Amino acid sequence: MKDGWAFVGMGASGAGLAAHAHHRGVGIAAWYDSDPAVEACVTAQGGFLYSGIFGEGLLALPPMAQTPGELARASVIVVSVTAGQHEAVAQRLAGVLADDHLVVLHCGYVGGGRIFALALEAAGAKGRPKIVETMNSLHLAGRPSPARMVARSHKLWLETAGNAPGDVEFALARLGALWPELKLGRNALQTGLNNPNSLGHLPVMLGHLGLLKADHGALTTGVLHFGEAYTELVANLADAYELERLAVVGALGLDPLPVAEFDALAYPPGTRLEEVERFGPKLQMRYLTEDLPCDLVPLEDIARLVGCPTPLTTAMIDLAGSALRCNFRGIGRTVEKLGIDWIAENAPAVAAPPAIRHT
């Protein structure tokens, strides 16, 4: 019998959600993290230390799951890994997921649920679990050490979408009482494209590329948030990128969500702590290696389907790709990988290609 929740990925967002869920009476049936240091520290401490906006304490945890089957004993499996790992997690779970499982990608970026479902299919999964993805993570959090998390903020609004018809309705009925922040999204493509992460991450990262391989004090260590690095010039870059992103979402026939509106919905008064422990690094490489292939690459490629220009998005992909010597388009979530049929189902302005007739 399936019971409780399982958590895959105990980084800052996964550990924060696990601790907060425990506060709300959720039983943690199993957990897994690929970093051996996390398991070692949890074992030594007897759990995961947490502090911040929803209190402090020690989240007692069972021994880390060693097999996918141990995770599958839970009815809800929350996946809080960087978006580039969604496919690998799906492959690992493919043999144990059943129709009555609910998988929550926390969060999905652009097309996370689609990528997860395609990976399950490619791996020969027999079950068809319900798959949903959140627009963002529930908390703005950091992890000063492998098994200690500090949560600075708690979102009270978090749009959620399903991979297939009925998935999100099933999830909200199943989770709504314990996770009331979840709100019904129009569809997964709109939810992913309106994720504000890249607006917060990439302008700062590109404006401070030189700091990634050097120590410049508070700009590289000792900071939880981006405030010190968000200079006037970086803000100008962010404003220009947001206008481009909103134009693409609108051109697709979807509803653009400006970051100011997201903040107003997600962060009403009392949802952020102003004084928190300062730790780093702030300029983390994953802000490039996650956001570029899983957000900017699909934005650029999907925009071509409706003839919407994205010169700044293209320039940021090119600039970061050259600096890191990485072909982000080659590893990214392109139209080919997501599937034109899936995009057309979710974007009213995109026409599905005609079916090929065989004679």
Which DSSP string do the residues of 197-242 spell out, in sequence order?
Answer: HHHHHHHHHHHTGGGTTS--GGGTSS-SSSGGG--HHHHHHHHHHH
What six digits make up the tokens of 244? 């481009």
The pLDDT tens digits of the residues spanning 308-341 come to 999 999 999 999 999 999 999 999 999 999 999 9
* Domain 5-193 classification at class level: alpha beta
Of the pLDDT bands very low, low, confident and very high (cuts 50, 70, 90), residue 221 is low
Task: Tell me the angle at which helices 112-122 and 86-93 cross, rounded to the nearest 10 degrees.
Answer: 40
Q: Which residues in the chain are classed under CATH 1.10.1040.10?
A: 197-346
Mean pLDDT of 186-206: 93
Eight-class DSSP state of 272: B
Closest of 72, 85, 84 to residue 125, by C-alpha: 72
Angle between helices 311-324 and 232-251 (to 10 degrees): 120
* Contact indicator for 26, 4 with CB cutoff of 8 Å: yes
Arithmetic mean of pLDDT, 267-281: 76
CATH number for the segment(s) 197-346: 1.10.1040.10
Residue 131: beta bridge partners?
Answer: 103
Rg (CA), the chain: 20
Tell me which of 43-52, 62-71, 220-229 is least confident: 220-229
Backbone angles phi, psi at 153, to 5 degrees: -145, 165
Report whether 138 contacts 17 (CB < 8 A).
yes
CATH 3.40.50.720 domain position(s) in the chain: 5-193
DSSP, res 292: I
| H/E segment holding residue 151 | strand 148-154
Asked if the model's pLDDT at residue 278 lies above 70, the reply is no
Count of CB atoms situated within 10 Å of the CB of 327:
11
CA distance 343 to 349: 10
pLDDT over 90 (residue 279): no
pLDDT of residue 352: 77
Query: Residue 149's beta-bridge partner residues?
Result: 50
Query: What span, in angstroms and rounded, lies between the C-alpha atoms of 82 and 109?
Result: 9
